[in-house]
Amino acid sequence: MSPAPAGEEVLVVTRDLVPERGGWLGLRTAGLESFLDVVAAHGHYAPRERMEHDPSQKQIIPYLVLRDADAYFLMRRTRAGGDARLHDRWSIGVGGHLNPGDDGLLGGLRREWREELVADFEPDFEPFALLNDDTTDVGSVHLGVVFLADAAGRPVVVRETDKLTGAFASPAEVAAVADRLETWSRIVFEAIEEGLAVTSPRSR
């Protein structure tokens, strides 16, 4: 996760409201819809700087995995990015913190879509699973809501080409860089490829 801008407020949910209090690692589909209702009813905004050090709260992150049939939109962070820890890391996820004015999960995801990618369409965003990893300090204060979408053959490129490269890649091509995938991307990719979900979301 990128450093917190001064004064930023982010959407959080009390850990007690997370399924099994977040006592699981990886993807979870059970209870997804009911948890989305919990976020809508009980999510609240708090200073991100404080939340980064408070594991009693979970910052909610919409995390989009964009497919084109079996392919994944695969991105690589260049050395021009501000966080050296992320240089040359690969990702199949688009997402970020939710802020006041985003109008909830879908509103925030639509903002991330516009900010991160260039496309002449907006796909259907299908909720897929919850994503949790309490094995790191960063993971212990974040909870991902994974969405799937299908480009259906339509072109997509990254917006900030100085900081990212991106293109659709086959599962084999993603697997070839699996050891350099960001943690959340690796968890999602392995789960999908092992059959947790259909190979691509329903297209409309």
Digit-coded pLDDT (tens) for 114-161: 999 999 999 999 999 999 999 999 999 999 999 999 999 999 999 999
Q: Is residue 1 part of a domain?
A: no
Buried b (16+ CB within 10 A) or exposed e, 124-147: ebbbbbbbbbbeeeebbbbbbbbb
Q: Is residue 138 part of a domain?
A: yes
In this structure, of 37-51, 98-112, 183-197, the range with the lowest mean pLDDT score is 183-197
Express as a percent the part of the chain with pLDDT over 70: 88
Given a cut of 50, whether residue 199 has pLDDT beyond it is no
Q: Is residue 182 part of a domain?
A: yes
For residues 191 and 116, is the Cβ–Cβ distance under 8 A?
Answer: no
Digit-coded pLDDT (tens) for 58-89: 999 999 999 999 999 999 988 655 555 555 79
DSSP 181: B
Q: Is residue 203 part of a domain?
A: no
Of 88 and 184, the one with more pLDDT = 184
Q: Is residue 48 part of a domain?
A: yes
Of 32 and 87, the one with more pLDDT = 32
Q: Is residue 99 part of a domain?
A: yes
CATH number at residue 23: 3.90.79.10
Q: Is residue 80 part of a domain?
A: yes
DSSP 5: P
- Amino acid present at 4: A
In the chain, the number of structural domains is 1
For residues 157 and 166, is the Cβ–Cβ distance under 8 A?
Answer: yes
Token pair recorded at residue 41: 């009813």
Domain carrying residue 44: 9-193
Q: Is residue 200 part of a domain?
A: no
Whole-model pTM: value is 0.90
